[in-house]
């Protein structure tokens, strides 16, 4: 351990007072694994964009150590570099020392949330989204209704045509708004969908928060695919937002209270697995243990829950496709979702399912494992950087000459759809579950 970042700092003088305080302090045993070898640097999108050590994984870990040792203030500079991280965790996949960078950056953000005063409008927006909106499905539904009217009444087209969005610097953000469904998935909570044919498994579907107002069709496609493959699908009532967005933003008290609700709901039923079609949610749901101290009852529940939690592609690839599939010749390319690949280490399952579709030709795009810039709410908070990453992504997607891009995460799907529109690639973008649903041979 003599060459670790932590010990290098400690060897330069006596341990100083920590700049961190309160709950969720980045743990020494987490950052001490970093041997500052730099092997993660070229996998980091922000380092590749700007070439700055302070915006690399190694540089960010060093800043966390320095704040912990009282050598760097928890101030504007620290906050800027931690905010600019996508939390894509590509650095974790590259790290030979097993540094769990996601844990570190989320703890650093929790410290920022508790000990740093953001500008007034930033605090207002964060409080509204993380504390006033995401934990309340009813409020999400009301806001979604308003957005639906904006999108479908012609008002959106009018506002775009006036150029006012450009004037107020909102043109990029507005393009990334999810299209709102006519009917929300909330009405399906509490329902059970029987397996087609002999039952092979009984599963619970995790429905999420924003996904219930903008990805109802994806949820329905997922249910059709699962039931066609012999799964009885239950959509438990009482479930709530997974807490990924608050957790990534450092708002851990909210993430914890959401986790408690989901643990009660999903552990309260007899399920072979709990399924999500959202890789970003799945990675947080599988890591609820990080939110609770070891030895607490909640930590034990989170541990039991982790064993049940599966991404839809992971579960179905393991179970094996039993439904009949048909298809026409189609060339597609697959974009890895960071939280599926780097967060959950799932690379092969979605590809295996795609290859099972007759006629489908899977063409790998260069840098498919590189973040598209969606990264939870990053495309809203750091829009310029997000669009720069998206431009790079669309260059690689276009080069495949595949008319269809496939992903396994709703956030990436929206981002890639916006990318296809902004860069005029003409490509359609689907979720793996949607392509499987299209390929199902419907029984009479």
* By CB under 6 A, residue 90 contacts ligand SF4: yes
Instruction: Write down the least CB distance from residue 381 to ligand SF4, Å.
Output: 13
- Find all residues with CB under 8 Å of 397, minimum gap 6, and list them: 333, 335, 365, 405, 416, 419, 420, 425, 427
Strand order in the sheet with 192-193: 192-193, 231-234, 201-205, 273-276, 309-311
Report the run of H or E that residue 204 belongs to, with start and end. strand 201-205
Measured from the CB atom, the residue of 230 and 373 that comes closer to ligand SF4 is 373
What is the crossing angle of helices 137-152 and 155-162, to 10°? 70
x/- track of binding to ligand SF4 for residues 46-65 (CB under 6 A): x----------xx-xx----
36 binds ligand SF4 (CB under 6 A): yes
Stretch that binds ligand SF4, among 16-24, 95-103, 175-183, 383-391 (CB under 6 A): 95-103
70 part of the interface to ligand SF4, by CB under 6 A:
no
Q: Contact with ligand SF4 (CB under 6 A): which of 30, 87, 336, 382?
A: 87
Residue in 352, 344, 305 with CA at minimum distance from that of residue 325: 352
CA-nearest of 165, 176, 232 to 204 is: 232
Tokens of 126: 């964060």
**81 touching ligand SF4, by CB under 6 A:** no
- Tell the smallest beta-carbon distance from residue 137 to ligand SF4 (Å): 30
Binding ligand SF4 (rule: CB under 6 A), the pick from 89, 109, 393, 431 is: 89
Q: What is the Cα–Cα distance from 394 to 407, expressed in whole angstroms?
A: 13
- 61 or 291: whose CB is closer to ligand SF4? 61
How does DSSP classify residue 273? E
81-89, 221-229, 242-250, 431-439 -> range binding ligand SF4 (CB under 6 A): 81-89
* Least distance CB 82 / ligand SF4 (angstroms): 9
DSSP structure string for 50-118: H--GGGSHHHHHHHHHHHHTTSS-SSHHHHHHHHT-----HHHHH-TT---HHHHHHHHHHHHHHH---
Residue 45 as a binder of ligand SF4 (CB under 6 A): the answer is yes
Q: Is 237 in the site for ligand SF4 (CB under 6 A)?
A: no
Tell me how far, at minimum, the Cβ of 25 lies from ligand SF4, in Å.
Answer: 19
Sole binder of ligand SF4 in the list 16, 27, 37, 237 (CB under 6 A): 37
Residue 404 interacting with ligand SF4 (CB under 6 A): no
| 35 forms part of the interface with ligand SF4 (CB under 6 A) | yes
323 closest CA partner among 194, 202, 440, 198: 440
Residues that bind ligand SF4 (CB under 6 A): 34-40, 43-46, 57-58, 60-61, 85-91, 94-95, 97, 99, 101
């Amino acid at each position: 351990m003599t060459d670790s970042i932590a010990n290098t700092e400690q060897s330069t003088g006596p341990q100083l007072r920590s700049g961190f305080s309160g709950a969720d302090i980045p743990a020494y045993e987490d950052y001490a694994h970093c041997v500052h070898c730099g092997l993660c640097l070229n996998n980091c999108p922000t380092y590749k964009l700007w070439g700055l050590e302070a915006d690399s994984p190694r540089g960010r870990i060093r800043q966390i150590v320095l704040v912990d040792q009282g050598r760097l203030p928890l101030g504007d500079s620290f906050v800027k570099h931690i905010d600019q991280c996508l939390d894509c965790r590509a650095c974790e996949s590259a790290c030979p020392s097993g540094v769990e960078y996601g844990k570190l950056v989320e703890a650093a953000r929790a410290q920022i949330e508790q000990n740093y005063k953001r500008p007034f409008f930033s605090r207002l927006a964060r409080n509204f989204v993380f504390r006033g909106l995401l934990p309340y499905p009813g409020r999400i539904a009301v806001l979604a209704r308003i957005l639906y009217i904006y999108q479908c009444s012609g008002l959106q087209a009018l506002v775009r045509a006036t150029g006012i969005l450009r004037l107020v610097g909102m043109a990029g953000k507005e393009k990334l708004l999810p299209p709102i469904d006519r009917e929300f998935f909330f009405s399906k909570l509490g329902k059970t969908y029987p397996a087609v044919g002999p039952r092979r498994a009984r599963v619970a579907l995790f429905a999420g928060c924003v996904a219930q107002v903008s990805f109802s069709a994806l949820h329905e496609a997922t249910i059709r695919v699962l039931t066609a493959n012999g799964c009885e699908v239950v959509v438990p009532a009482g479930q709530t937002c997974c807490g990924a967005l608050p957790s990534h933003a450092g708002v851990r008290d909210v993430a914890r209270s959401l986790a408690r609700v989901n643990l009660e709901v999903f552990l309260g039923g007899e399920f072979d697995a709990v399924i999500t079609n959202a890789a970003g949610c799945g990675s947080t749901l599988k890591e609820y243990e990080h939110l609770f101290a070891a030895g607490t009852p909640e930590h034990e529940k989170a541990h039991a829950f982790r064993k049940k939690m599966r991404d839809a592609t992971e579960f179905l690839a393991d179970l094996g496709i039993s439904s009949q599939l048909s298809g026409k010749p189609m060339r597609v390319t697959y974009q890895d979702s960071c939280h599926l690949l780097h967060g959950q280490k799932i690379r092969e399952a979605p590809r295996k399912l795609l290859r099972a579709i007759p006629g489908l030709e899977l063409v790998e795009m260069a840098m498919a494992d590189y973040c598209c810039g969606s990264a939870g709410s990053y495309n809203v908070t750091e829009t310029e950087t997000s669009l720069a990453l998206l431009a790079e992504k669309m260059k690689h997607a276009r080069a495949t000459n595949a008319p269809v891009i496939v992903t396994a995460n709703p956030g990436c799907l929206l981002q890639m759809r916006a990318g296809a529109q902004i860069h005029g690639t003409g490509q359609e973008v689907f979720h793996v579950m949607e392509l499987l649903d299209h390929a199902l041979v419907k029984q009479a």
